[in-house]
C-alpha cells in the first residue's frame, strides 16, 4: 500500500486537521466527535443542511460545506458510516431555528445511523427531516445497501437543496426540492482499478489488468458485470444508456450532465467521456444546458468515472445557478 499517510488510524483526523487549517475562512472542524460546520456556524432563520457518510469520497461531503450548500458534514472512518453521536451534534450545530434537512446516501449503515442521530437531536429540540439519495441505476440491492445506492447525484441534491435553503424556503419546501432532485437524477459508474482502504492495507477487490467493472459502487461494491477493457466511447455508452432509459428521457428535455472522476483518473479522460456522453444525449434529442466535470465523489485513488444526468426544469436550473461558496464548488 503506497499512500501519503502516517498511521492508517489517523488519516481522517489528520486530513480534517489540514482541511480546517487550509480553509479556516470557510469551515470549522470539530475534532471530537468529528464533524465540519461553516466557519460562522448555523445561519439564524435558515433551514440547516447536513450530510455525511464514510470518508474516502472527498470532496464529498466536507468540501461542500459553505454558503449555498451544506451547513455541516459528518465524516465517518474511511468507507464507514458516521456514528449517531457524531451526527446528532452536527444536526444541532446546523440548526438556525427553522429545522434541519439531512441528506443521506442510501447505505444501510448511513440510513440507520442518521435515523438514530436525528432522534437524538430531536430529543434536544431540533426538527429534523431526512431525504435518501439513491441515484445509482447499476444494481438493486448490493453490499451495504437495500435498494439503489446513493452516489454522485448526491452533489446535485446538496447544491440545489442548499440553494433552496439559502433563498429562505422552510423545511418542507427545501425537503420537497431535494426530493425532486432525487426523483430526476440517475448515475452509473465504471472502475478501471480497485482502491485500498488505509486500515485494510490491500485493494478492496481484484480487477485483472485487462478487465473493468461496469456499474461499480463508490466503495468498490460489485457492479453489473466485468468486461474486457474497452474504448472510452463504448464504455460511456454503457454508462449513459441505462441512466437515460431509467430517467425515461425521450427527447426535448434539458439536463445537467455530470461526469465524475473516481479519484485516480486524469481530468483529460473525464472530458473524453463527457464529450461522448454529450454527443449521445444530443443524438436522443436531449439538450445539455448545465455541466460539471471533475473529481467530486471519489473512491480514494480508484481509477474510473461515473456519468450522472439530472433532468432540469426552470426552478432546478435557477437553483443550480445560484451562488455557492464552498471549498470544492464555487460560483
Name which of 170 and 234 has its Cβ closer to a copy of itself. Answer: 234
Candidates 193, 260, 306, 308: give the one binding a copy of itself (CB under 8 A).
193
Candidates 122, 232, 246, 317: give the one binding a copy of itself (CB under 8 A).
232
Candidates 172, 229, 250, 313: give the one binding a copy of itself (CB under 8 A).
229
* Binding segment toward a copy of itself, per CB under 8 A, in 114-122, 143-151, 164-172, 257-265: 257-265
Candidates 16, 65, 111, 128: give the one binding a copy of itself (CB under 8 A).
16
- Per-residue contact flags (x/-) with a copy of itself for residues 35 to 74, judged by CB under 8 A: --------------------xx-xx---x-----------
User: Strand locations in 225-286, DSSP E?
Assistant: 225-228, 254-261
First to last CA, the chain: 37
Bridge partners of 37, per DSSP, are 28, 72
Which residue in 239, 328, 254 sits closest to 291, CA to CA?
Answer: 254
Bridge partners of 196, per DSSP, are 203
Measure the CA dihedral 13/31/71/109, to 10°: 60
Report yes or no: 218 and 107 within 8 Å, Cβ to Cβ. Answer: no
Residue 126 found at the interface with a copy of itself (CB under 8 A)? no
Site for a copy of itself in 162-191 (CB under 8 A): 190
Q: Please report how close the Cβ of residue 29 comes to a copy of itself at its closest, in angstroms.
A: 11
Residue 225 found at the interface with a copy of itself (CB under 8 A)? no
Q: Please report how close the Cβ of residue 169 comes to a copy of itself at its closest, in angstroms.
A: 26
Give the Cα separation of 130 and 262 in Å (integer): 26
* Beta carbons within 10 angstroms of residue 211's beta carbon: 14
Cβ-based neighbours of 278, under 8 Å, separated by 6 or more? 257, 288, 291
Measure the CA dihedral 211/213/214/215, to 10°: 180
Q: Please report how close the Cβ of residue 316 comes to a copy of itself at its closest, in angstroms.
A: 18
Site for a copy of itself in 270-299 (CB under 8 A): 270-276, 278, 288, 291, 293, 295, 298
Nearest 5°: the CA angle 218, 302, 213 is 70
SS3 state of residue 159: helix
Bridge partners of 187, per DSSP, are 136, 308
Residues with catalytic roles: 57, 219
Which residues contact a copy of itself (rule: CB under 8 A)? 2-7, 11-12, 14-19, 21-23, 55-56, 58-59, 63, 190, 192-193, 209, 212, 229, 231-233, 235, 263-276, 278, 288, 291, 293, 295, 298, 300-301, 303-305, 330-331
Amino acid at each position: 500500500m503506497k499512500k501519503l499517510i502516517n498511521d492508517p488510524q489517523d488519516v481522517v483526523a489528520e486530513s480534517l486537521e489540514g482541511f480546517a487549517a487550509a480553509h479556516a475562512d470557510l469551515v470549522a472542524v470539530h475534532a471530537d466527535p468529528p464533524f465540519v460546520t461553516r466557519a460562522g456556524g448555523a445561519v439564524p432563520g435558515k433551514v440547516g443542511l447536513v450530510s455525511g457518510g464514510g470518508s474516502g469520497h472527498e470532496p464529498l461531503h466536507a468540501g461542500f460545506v459553505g454558503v449555498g450548500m451544506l451547513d455541516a458534514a459528518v465524516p465517518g472512518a474511511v468507507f464507514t458510516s458516521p456514528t449517531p453521536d457524531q451526527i446528532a451534534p452536527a444536526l444541532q450545530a446546523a440548526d438556525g431555528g427553522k429545522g434541519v434537512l439531512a441528506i443521506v446516501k442510501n447505505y444501510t449503515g448511513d440510513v440507520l445511523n442518521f435515523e438514530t442521530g436525528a432522534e437524538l437531536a430531536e430529543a434536544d429540540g431540533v426538527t429534523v427531516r431526512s431525504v435518501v439519495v439513491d441515484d445509482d441505476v447499476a444494481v438493486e440491492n448490493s453490499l451495504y445497501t437495500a435498494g439503489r445506492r446513493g452516489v454522485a447525484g448526491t452533489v446535485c441534491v446538496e447544491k440545489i437543496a442548499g440553494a433552496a435553503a439559502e433563498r429562505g424556503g422552510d423545511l418542507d419546501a427545501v425537503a420537497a426540492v431535494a426530493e425532486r432532485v432525487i426523483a430526476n437524477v440517475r448515475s452509473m459508474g465504471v472502475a478501471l482499478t480497485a482502491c485500498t482502504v488505509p486500515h485494510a492495507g490491500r485493494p478492496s477487490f481484484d480487477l485483472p489488468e485487462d478487465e473493468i467493472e461496469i456499474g461499480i459502487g463508490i466503495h468498490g461494491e460489485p457492479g453489473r458485470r466485468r468486461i474486457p477493457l474497452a474504448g472510452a466511447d463504448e464504455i460511456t455508452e454503457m454508462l449513459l444508456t441505462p441512466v437515460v432509459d431509467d430517467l425515461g428521457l425521450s427527447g426535448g428535455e434539458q439536463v445537467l450532465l455530470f461526469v465524475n472522476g473516481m479519484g485516480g483518473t486524469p481530468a483529460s479522460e473525464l472530458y473524453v467521456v463527457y464529450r461522448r456522453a454529450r454527443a449521445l444525449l444530443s443524438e436522443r434529442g436531449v439538450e445539455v444546458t448545465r455541466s460539471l466535470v471533475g473529481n467530486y465523489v471519489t473512491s480514494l485513488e480508484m481509477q474510473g468515472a461515473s456519468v450522472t444526468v439530472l433532468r432540469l426544469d426552470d426552478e432546478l436550473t435557477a437553483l443550480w445557478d445560484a451562488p455557492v461558496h464552498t471549498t470544492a464548488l464555487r460560483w
